[in-house]
Amino acid sequence: MASERHYSPVDRLFLQADAALRTLLPFSGQPSRPSPAIVQAESELDEPTARHVAGLMRINHTGEVCAQALYQGQALTAKLPNVRAAMEHAADEEIDHLAWCEQRIRQLGSHPSALNPLFYGLSFGVGAVAGLISDKISLGFVAATEDQVVKHLDDHLQQLPANDDKSRAILKQMRLDEERHATSALEAGGLRFPAPVKFGMTLLSKVMTKSAYRL
């Protein structure tokens, strides 16, 4: 990672463009870990149930698109090399989640959200601004965002049909990873956001979940 200090601003912009394409283009992200769903048997789901599960997995996929954009934006503007490296490492791990969710969505006969480019752009901007303000705020934003993701995952785990072991295995592993990202961000010096800020983030996340579920 030390060699990255020699990258020019233009180099970094090209790297960010490459990351955006790998996030948004179908099947372009290559996971470093196999999907937890591989070892689970496929279950019989009726059409309305499969459509509902696909909607839930589409929300989770869009959430990972937002996480990728947030991390990439923060990495672009982070002031300390170790913070930049932490953001880039977390983004690499989120690629696994992206790929797993997309695989499951396709298996359910559906597709990722058409709004992903919009959410990517908005999240990238938020991450870049947070990084410009301070690394402490940037890391705090990661922790608060991951807390929101964990809440969504808990809700979706409760909504999954009892026999959908494939989707459940994916969401359980994602939850473990997201919780670890939140803890790591706080341990690295992230700011603990006050309740009103978290409440505002919750309201924004509801806009994303409702639109991604349908589109």
Mean pLDDT computed over 190-211: 77
* Statement: residue 202 has pLDDT above 80: no
Return the CATH fold of 11-22+45-214: Ferritin (1.20.1260)
pLDDT at 124: 86
Instruction: Copy the structure tokens of residue 188.
Output: 């690295």
Q: What is the pLDDT of residues 76-124, one digit of tens each?
A: 776 667 666 766 677 777 788 989 999 999 999 999 998 888 888 888 8
Which residue numbers belong to the known binding site? Answer: 64, 94, 97, 146, 178, 181
Quote the pLDDT of residue 56: 94
- Residue numbering of the annotated binding site for Fe cation: 64, 94, 97, 146, 178, 181
Percent of the chain with pLDDT over 90: 27
- The model's pTM is 0.81
What pLDDT does residue 102 have? 92
Higher pLDDT, 157 or 12: 157
Structural domain spans, the chain: 11-22+45-214
DSSP letter at 37 equals G
